[in-house]
Amino acid sequence: MCGIFGIMGHPEASNLAYLGLHALQHRGQESAGIVASDGNGLRAHRAMGLVADIFTAPVLEKLPGTAAIGHVRYSTAGVSQLKNAQPLMVEYVGGHLSVAHNGNLVNAQELRDALEADGAIFQSDADTEVIIHLIARSKQPTFEQKVVEALSKVKGAYSILFLTENKLVAVRDPFGIRPLVLGMLKNGWVLASETTALDLIEAEFIREIDAGEMVVIDETGLRSSQPMPPAPRRGRCIFEQVYFARPDSVLFGSSVYEVRKEMGRQLAHEQPTPGADLVIAVPDSGVPAAIGYAQASGLPYDVGLIRSHYVGRTFIEPQQSIRHFGVKLKLAAVRQVLKGKRVVVVDDSIVRGTTSRKIVKMLKAAGAVEVHLRISSPPTQWPCFYGIDTPSRQELIASSHTVEEIARYVTADSLGYISLEGLGASMGDRERTTFCTACFSGQYLLGETTSLTTAQDVAPKVASA
Ligand code: 5GP
Ligand code: SF4
Ligand code: MG
């Protein structure tokens, strides 16, 4: 769970990186960083917390230059430390190098063990550092060739940016798991996790970086190549469309808002709620699907839950003490809308079930006589190894409970999920041959599932990026 941004050829590179990261803040709230190049060297600033708090005017003034990369990060408790904040920056025989990575490598521990056995010293827990060591050790003649050699050894998800004194390099893994888009300004090129970052700085959206593609930007302009052997199939993360990306972004060629609304329509067809009075959303993530559900079912859409905008998903959230109060701090029920009503409440996903349970209870306490929970993704049964912060398998309520049991646990009068086929259909890919759906289907892109079925705790050992 991370957001990345890069810019080359603009006199205010770090200021624009700041804005870009601001637009990507939803992708990670734990730490943020910017590394800028003035052509002679790199300067970095990284800190825990939110972009707007970290990058004050004096801080940005200390990051001069015409090129910059930036990163926002979210991780689980335990690895919530400054040493894991990105972009990482190192000095090696080839010069200065900085890296911003979104995604998770599945063979990072293996590679790290081998590198450490060979004398490498690691500064962080982040699997991204493995890539830096591989680059530093590469005997290839050019920087691009070093990058390609390093990435040919790693497996998993990476949308990744490299910044040297005079080069910005972007690569997307052969499955295209995490998003990455290219944009253009009058002065310079821009790369970002999502188009919303381009929109904010008024950059023109050019195209998505292709799976397995490498783009190099330097003073001679932009060059593209396809150095990674293509994966047998695409594996774009379907959960980006369900929950993670911002609804105003265009992701994998489709408007996130339109896709989510379509999921809601599909959900209404598959899981209708006869006799209900109105449809409400769990804001913000459930809103587009709830609107789609209301449209398809002919029920009125109303606002039954208000979200406070002053409780961010801040970097302290992974602590259990904060999570406990989280829901009430974040959401309040509107009694006037709910009183005496049979309510359909639409959300994007159920992970542990604890939030949903509190929401259902809150709606009933506010006078709803029936609460029918509708979810615009299938039951989340498997952990993600490719960069989304899902808990281990036993914490996922749907891995060990039937839909009926989950309904009882969350105290809903009924519970209905969209089907996997329906989810694919909402994205124009019913067969789901271009998406990763592992957290719903257990079909991992790299076949990790065989070892999973026997493992007790399947949480990966490496820190998630
Ligand atoms: P639960 O009922 O499982 O406790 O919470 C479900 C809620 O968690 C949904 O509203 C969904 O939007 C949200 N959610 C889904 N995936 C994630 C995630 O990866 N991180 C966070 N912070 N929230 C998530
Ligand atoms: Fe996305 Fe789920 Fe695949 Fe992870 S397992 S990449 S969250 S679809
Ligand atoms: Mg939500």
362-378 pLDDT, tens per residue?
A: 999 999 999 999 999 99
Q: Tell me the three state secondary structure of residue 415.
A: strand
Element (H, E) at 424: helix 420-426
Structural domains of the chain sorted by starting position, each given as residue range(s) with its CATH number in brackets: 3-230 (3.60.20.10), 240-462 (3.40.50.2020)
SS3 of 214, please? Answer: strand
What pLDDT was estimated at residue 384? 93
pLDDT value of position 124: 87
d(CA 54, CA 65): 19
Residue 320 has a pLDDT of 59
H/E run at residue 305: strand 305-307
pLDDT tens for each residue of 415-450: 999 999 999 999 999 989 999 999 999 999 988 754
The share of the chain scoring above pLDDT 70, in percent, equals 92
Cα torsion 375, 380, 386, 387: sign: positive
Lowest mean pLDDT among 149-153, 204-208, 387-391, 422-426: 387-391
Is 245's C-beta closer than 6 angstroms to any atom of ligand 2?
A: no
Three-point CA angle 30, 35, 40, nearest 5°: 170
Q: What is the pLDDT of residue 163?
A: 98
Q: List beta partners, residue 221.
A: 218
- Quick check: CB of 211 below 6 Å from ligand 1? no
Percent above pLDDT 90 for the chain: 83
Mutual angle of helices 256-270 and 287-297, in 10-degree steps: 50
- Residue 465 clears pLDDT 50, i.e. is over it: no
Cβ–ligand 2 distance for 181 under 6 Å, the answer no
Averaged pLDDT, 335-349: 98
Sheet holding 159-163, edge to edge: 88-92, 95-102, 159-163, 168-172, 214-218, 221-225
- Indicate the SS3 state at residue 181: strand
pLDDT tier for residue 464 given thresholds of 50, 70 and 90: very low
Mean pLDDT of 238-260: 97
Name which residue sits closest to atom 1 of ligand 2, judged by CA.
237
Q: Do residues 333 and 366 lie in contact, with contact meaning Cβ atoms separated by under 8 Å?
A: yes
Rounded CA separation 146/99 (Å): 14
Take atom 2 of ligand 2 and give the residue whose Cα is closest. 439
Q: How far is the CA of 258 from the centre of ligand 1 (A)?
A: 21
Please give the positions annotated as active site.
2
Given the structure tokens 């047998």, which residue do they identify? 232
Three-class secondary structure of residue 463 per DSSP: strand
The structure tokens listed for 22 are 């601001």
Regarding the beta carbon of 153 and ligand 1, being less than 6 Å apart is answered no
Q: Is the CB of 384 under 6 A from ligand 2?
A: yes
Best of 355, 400, 439 to mutate for ligand 1, by most ligand atoms within 8 A of CB?
355
Element (H, E) at 58: helix 57-61
Contact 306, 274 (CB under 8 A): no
> Ligand 3 centre and the CA of 286: distance in Å?
6
